[in-house]
Structure 1
């Protein structure tokens, strides 16, 4: 058999069959220097992207471009702890709704807020714990960051009028970043209708148990939780039940679950109020 004739080397072709330009064919090379020295039509050579103030994918400028506000690690940072109460119509705000309401109030207060970086900046705001829907609170905590020093009294003066109905700002304090809030325990006061409060023997028996399994239900799952490790103290006074619950990284118990363990039904006339929040240093 005779060999087929050698294939003639020609211009490289793209996948669609069109021939590539001669300068980009096999063996051609375009130097980096020539690419940088490209000229705009009837204009000077183009500068590198960093010198043109190019911004990357996260919105940050390529050094040494235009500095992004708030991105320098040497910027001033002042942390404040807000103590506020939530009641009335605000007790029906969910955790995310409360965050949005506080964020809008902070923007309206004209305080020098320290914002997050990126395409959707928002004030640096955190709530150490989430409160159940429909539960009032006299001891809620939020933490914010400002880019300039402002006296706590001035922060309270500017922010208090901007808060929605049902949320009242009680105190503002300047804190260090190392003193971020970590909640150790919370205390609830539960007002019961007359005649529904059990006797002291029921409280002693509940505290003497080593395990208190309670069924916890959500829209997607159901599981059994042992709430005994979270129950710290339990007392009663004049149809009012006081419950102190431990808060850990693994979770905590809910006041409704303690009522369930005592056999007290949760009806609309049962009023639950969070009265105290104990903090520890991280």
Structure 2
């Protein structure tokens, strides 16, 4: 096993913004339907990253405020110049007025702030009856497990992970959200070999890979991907998009 100066998740913001795919229209349609709001209502997107889902919601006419705990992510989303307001924020101490927002979302990020203090903070800034919607892309195949296995041959990956015992529906229910529901939308991402490697580089586990091992591990990843290309020379990543939501009582 090797050690060295590794790239932080925030430092990979440019890669993240370039490679992470937008959510399918079907997913954004479902989120919009759950809100049940007309245009111009205010939505808080928590853990917005580089604003991939934020800009999709803004395109539906909502007024978006995006927050992330990583300053590099916020710097990147601001540099794009897209609609909305963005700021670095600690979810457990959101600096907004009580009942300021008509709804809130967390796309692929809730596992980082599903503790009670953060959930209570989210509740506080929502108006009564407003929906908090959690969206996660979950692998339906062996993609993530295979990536972990390949990287783990060379790097001692940390055993703790925020998605361990992650149950968003239970969390929302336990911490006081009402009428908690969930649904799953199956989909498939189609990635070129280069896009697939870049996707792995945008994952948090890549933080633990020393630069001296990048080329070796990327070669193994490329071999894994090449062996699984379809007739169109793309890598298919089957997903289950899980949407969980509840409303402030």
Q: Same fold (TM over 0.5)?
A: no
TM-score (norm 1): 0.21
Q: Greater helix percent: which structure?
A: 2
Larger radius of gyration: 1
TM-score, with normalisation over the residues of structure 2? Answer: 0.23
